[in-house]
Structures are given as C-alpha cells and as structure tokens.
Amino acid sequence: MSLQFAHNSKRRFRISKYIYYTFDFLSYIHSPIPLSSTPIKMSEGAANNETPKLQTPRLNQRILSSLSRRSVAAHPWHDLELGSGAPQIFNCVIEIAKGSKVKYELDKKTGLIKVDRVLYSSVVYPHNYGFIPRSLCDDNDPLDVLVLMQEPVLPGCFLRAKAIGLMPMIDQGENDDKIIAVCADDPEYKHYNDIKELPPHRLTEIRRFFEDYKKNENKKVAVDEFLPSSTAIEAIQHSMDLYAEYIMHTLRK
C-alpha cells in the first residue's frame, strides 16, 4: 500500500462510511420459552388412520441461552484490535494462504473474504498474505503484510505477527508497499528480528513472486530494495495514525 511519510495536515478521505454491526440474533424473543412438558399430541385424524400432524416442539432454556443476543466483531478491518504490542507486534488478518493461487481479498463493505481472481501466472503465494486491522494507507486500503511461518493459514483467520522489514513496491505506477513479518507464535520464525537475518534466497523468492504474478495480466510491478524493521515499524505507526485521523474525521461529520 502507498506510504507517504511526509506530514500533510490536509488529507483527502475517500473511504466509504462503515457501519458497525451488532449481532442482534433472536432479538424478537423477549423471554425464554421452556420446553413444553406436555406430550406431543396427534390430530383427531390420526385415529382414522390419517397422517398425524405433530405439534412443533418449543425451544428449551438451554438452546435459548446459547443463542442469546450478543455483540461480535462485525468487521475485521475496523473491529479487530491491533494488540498491545503494536506497531512492533500486531494482529493481522490472513486473506491468502501460503501456496494458494487464488487471490482472496477483504470485501470492505461486508467484512467478508471474497475471491477476487485466480492468478493468471503459474505462481503461488510464497507465504501467508493479509492486512493489518485499524491501519490505513493513502490509497484507502489497510496496510498489506506478508507473514513468514511454517504452515498455511486459512483465509479469514488472524494471528500475531512481528514486523521485520518493508518491501517497497510500485504497482502500475502507484506505491503498494508490503510489510514483511514473521508469525510471533511460530517457534521456527519468531526469533527473527530483521529482514537481513533471512536467507538471501528467501528474499529473492519473495521479490520474484511479486515481480511476476501480474505479468500475464500485462500489469507492471517493480520491487525496490528491502528496508529494515525500523522502517517497517515507522510505516505501521504511520498507517495507525492515519486510520485514527480518519475515525476522528468521520466522527466530526
């Protein structure tokens, strides 16, 4: 995503307003209905060898209590917290699993993960890919993150990640930078603190994937030199501040 570190007091916000949904399931039920102890009755026609009509059993207290109204995180971008360790260690939502050729992405209106397309090139994502909640970039999207870890993660899950670097990228003439991170709870990767500690070939693979994955769509992508963890942390903090500014701007309306 585009990251501009120059402080500009006048920012244009073109993001649609999002509604924070409350899961008001069974709100029409005012009081629990106990399970009826009355035996199920058959209609009079059953005595005449007609098909009996059974009364619908009522929901019992146990079922109603398990389905009582409650609030849930309605939107992974806006409702999921960053975590107390941000911007160094933060929660991130996985959109695309390691090894996938399907380009999943967040549907900003519903908060669901949708299929955007299948990659046109014969490549797969080298690592789990997603976004940082409650972050915002100048292109009105959350900040992208590539998370290195042992296993693929299902789209829609979130995990704790640690920033170790930043990959500057130009996608069709626009900045589209990516945070490079490791899973903070993966024993094989959690000890990495900076991108320079990774094997050089790992960085070559990452660079080559992003340079090639849009070639068959006739779209140009350029990847610049990887930057250290300190730059990545500054970028995350910048996106957090921009998101907070957007929220204040929205509340003033």
Q: List, by residue number, the catalytic residues.
A: 125
User: Residue 18 is encoded by which pair of tokens?
Assistant: 């999002």
* β strands within the chain, DSSP E: 89-96, 102-106, 113-118, 128-131, 144-148, 158-167, 169-171, 174-175, 178-183, 221-223
Angle CA 99–128–179, to nearest 5: 135
What is the distance between the terminal CA atoms of the chain, rounded to a whole angstrom?
26
Other C-beta atoms lying within 10 Å of the C-beta of residue 27: 10
